[in-house]
Chains A and B, each alone.
Chain A
Amino acid sequence: MILLENVRKNFAEVQALKGVNLKIETGEKVVIIGPSGSGKSQLIRCINGLERPTSGTVKIDDILVTSKKVDHRAIAKKCAMVFQSYNLYPHMTVLKNVTLAPIKVLGIDEDQAEADAYQYLERVGLADKIDKYPSQLSGGQQQRVAIARALNMHPEIMLLDEPTAALDPEMVKEVLDVIKSLAERDMTVVMVTHEMALAREAADRVIFMVNGQIEEQGTPEQVFDHTQNPRMLDFLSKIL
C-alpha cells in the first residue's frame, strides 16, 4: 500500500504539490492525468523518494520514504520506475542493463538474474536484442528494455512517468501493449500518461491533477464520462 499524507513540494517560486493526500491499495492500477506543470511527475517521484517533499509523509507499506535516513535499496526492492526518457545505461548491453541491479542490489546470482532477464525480454519481444547497446535500438525498443529492467527487480509496485511521451507515434503501440500486459498482473501500477484509451481500458482509478492538487478522482467511467467538473471537461476537450 502506498500512502501520501499532506505532501507539499515547494521550489523557489513554484508550489509543485500543495498538500496531496492519496492512498493506493496493493494491486490497484492508477492513472494520473492533468495539464503540464500540474505536479504529476513530482507526485510520482515522491513515491519512490526521487524527490523529497518539503513537508508531509510518504509511506510504502512500512517504509517511511520521506525519512532522511531511508534506505533506497529497500524502496527499490518494492518499487521500480520507468522514465519518459528511458534512462537505460548506455555503456551496457541490453542484458547488462536488465541484470545489473538485480545482481548488485538484490543479490540475485548472475545465472538466475540472466534467466529472469531473458524471460522478461522475451515478454517484451526483445529476446533477440540482448547483446545490443541502447543506442542501437529504436525508442520503442529502448522503452521496452526499460520496462524489462524494471520488471527484473521483481517489484510490487511499478511507477511509470509518461512512458510513451517521447516515442514516435508508430512506436507507441508496442509499448502500450507491454504496459497493458502489466496491468493484467497483480502488481500495483501508478502511471502518468496522456494515453486516455489506455487509462480507460486498464485503470481502476483515474486521478486528475491541477495546480499541485488532486482535482478529481474516480473510476475511468466516472472521470471521463460523468464528470461535471469544468476543469476536467476543459482538459478532456483539449486532449481528445
Chain B
Amino acid sequence: MFAAFKWEAYFEAFPTILMAFTKTIGISLLALVLALILGVIFGLMSVSRSTVLRAINRVYVEMIQNVPLLLQVFVMYAVFPLIGIKLSTFLIGVIAIGIYHGAYISEVVRSGISSIPEGQFEAAKSQGFSYIQTMSLVILPQAISIIMPPLAVQAANLIKNTSIMALVAGGELMYATNSFANSTSYYGPAYVVAAILYFILCFPLSRLALHLEQNRGRRRVKRKEYYNPAMTEFDEDMKNAVAEEGVSTWESSSRG
C-alpha cells in the first residue's frame, strides 16, 4: 500500500496537491471571516431586547444547526444555477461554510455575553454609556476570554469542513487528494499526506483553544490570591476555580 513507487508518483503530483491545499486555506480564511462577522452580528442580535431580532437569530441558528452542511452546499451548487445564480465552487465554499459556522459562532458569542453578570450592564447603563459603548468597552472585553476557546475550536471545525467541497468538485485539498487516489489507486500516500496537512492547520488551533482555556483558569485563580488574605479561603477558592474551569467554561456560568 505504501510502496516507494507510489510515493514517487504522489510527489510528482504534489504541486497540484499543494495548489489545492492553498485553496483549502483560502476557503477557510474567507469563510472564517464571514463566519466571524455573521457570528458577532447574530450573537448580538440574540441578546438584544428586540423580540424580532432575537427571532431572526433563532431562525438562522435553528435552520443551520438542523440541516446538513452538505445539503446547503448541494443547494448552492445545483439549485442556485437554476434560478440564475452561478457561483464558483470556491465562492460556494466560502459562503456555505461561512454561513454554517456563523450560526455556531453566534451561539458562542451569545453564551459569552450571557455569562457576563447583569450588574455589568446595569453599571454601564447607570453611567450613561450607549449600547455600542456598553458592548465595546464593558461587555465584549470581558466576554472575549470566554469566547476565544470555543472560537478556536470552531475555526478548526471550519477547516475540516472545507473537505466536503470535494463532493462538488471543489478543487481543494480533499478533492485533489481524492482525484489522485482514484485515478492512480495509490490511496495510501494520498490520504496520509492529506491527513497530515489538515492536521498541520487544525492542531495549532486545538492547542490554542486548550491553552486559552487553561490560561483563563490560572488567571482567575491568581486574582483570587489577592482577594482572600486568609489562606484557607484561598485554597477553597482555588479548588472551586479549578473545578469550574474543568468543565466547559463558557457554558457553566450564566447571567445572574
Contacts and interface: CB of A to CB of B under 8 A. Distances in A.
- Same complex: yes
DSSP class of A's interface residues: helix, strand, loop or mixed? loop
Interface in B118-146: 119-120, 122-123, 125-130, 133, 137-138, 141-142
A240 to B, nearest CB: 30
Given A91-B141, A135-B227, A136-B223, A85 B130 contact: no
A175 interface: no
A132 B137 CA distance: 18
B119 A85 contact: yes
A73 interface: yes
Given A77-B128, A135-B226, A149-B127, 14 more contacts: A72-B129, A72-B130, A75-B128, A83-B122, A85-B117, A85-B119, A87-B122, A90-B142, A91-B141, A101-B127, A104-B137, A105-B129, A105-B133, A137-B226
Nearest to B145: A91
Nearest to A82: B126
Contacts of A137: 226-227
A72 B227 contact: no
Contacts, number: 67
- Top 10 nearest A-B pairs (CB, nearest first) are A76-B128, A101-B127, A136-B226, A87-B123, A135-B223, A87-B119, A73-B128, A81-B126, A105-B128, A91-B141
Interface of B: 117, 119-120, 122-123, 125-130, 133, 137-138, 141-142, 223-224, 226-227
Contacts of B129: 72, 101, 104-105
Nearest to B119: A87
A174 to B, nearest CB: 15
A33 interface: no
A48 B127 CA distance: 10
